[in-house]
Amino acid sequence: MYGGGEWGGDADAVPSLTIEVQDGDIATVEYRPAPDGLGRFYLGFQPRDFFDDPAESDPVDLAAEAEAFAEWSLLVGAVDVEAKHVRRLLAEEHVDEPEDTFVEETVERLVRLVGLPIPEGLDGGDDLV
């Protein structure tokens, strides 16, 4: 959880970022503030595809999430984050294998993209909170 200007900071702060890594294959990214209906996307695999069950996660509008997250990054002081760079990191629908072997690698690339420090525990722990 990134809030109040630091990892492990205030969960109620705005802007905030929460990243939950599950089994090295899926990372759920939630950010606030976000436009209505947005604020959550996945890295690695989308749960609905990984578990082959559409009930595991709602569909993600990848283009809209990339644009909104690029705008969100301005709130944490990032400059020149383009939606196309965010978009390349997001979990595609029906992907056979993501670009990175471990989703933690993709999380690190996302965190670096927006200029935040790399949180402790990104070395393969179960959760980044």
Q: Quote the pTM value.
A: 0.91
Domain of 23 in residue numbering reads as 2-114
Task: Tell me: pLDDT of 37 over 70.
Answer: yes
AA identity, residue 19: I
119 in a domain, yes or no? no
Q: What was the pLDDT predicted at 124?
A: 45
Confidence grade of residue 93 (pLDDT, cut at 50, 70, 90): very high
Q: How far apart (Å, rounded) are the C-alpha atoms in residues 6 and 10?
A: 8
86 in a domain, yes or no? yes
CA dihedral (126, 76, 105, 118) positive or negative: negative
Q: What was the pLDDT predicted at 121?
A: 76
Confidence grade of residue 79 (pLDDT, cut at 50, 70, 90): confident
Tracing tokens 């436009």 back to the chain, one arrives at 35
Q: What was the pLDDT predicted at 127?
A: 44
Q: How many CB atoms lie within 10 A of CB 36?
A: 5
User: Count of domains in the chain?
Assistant: 1
* 33 contacts 72 by C-beta, under 8 angstroms: yes
Task: Tell me: pLDDT of 81 over 90.
Answer: yes
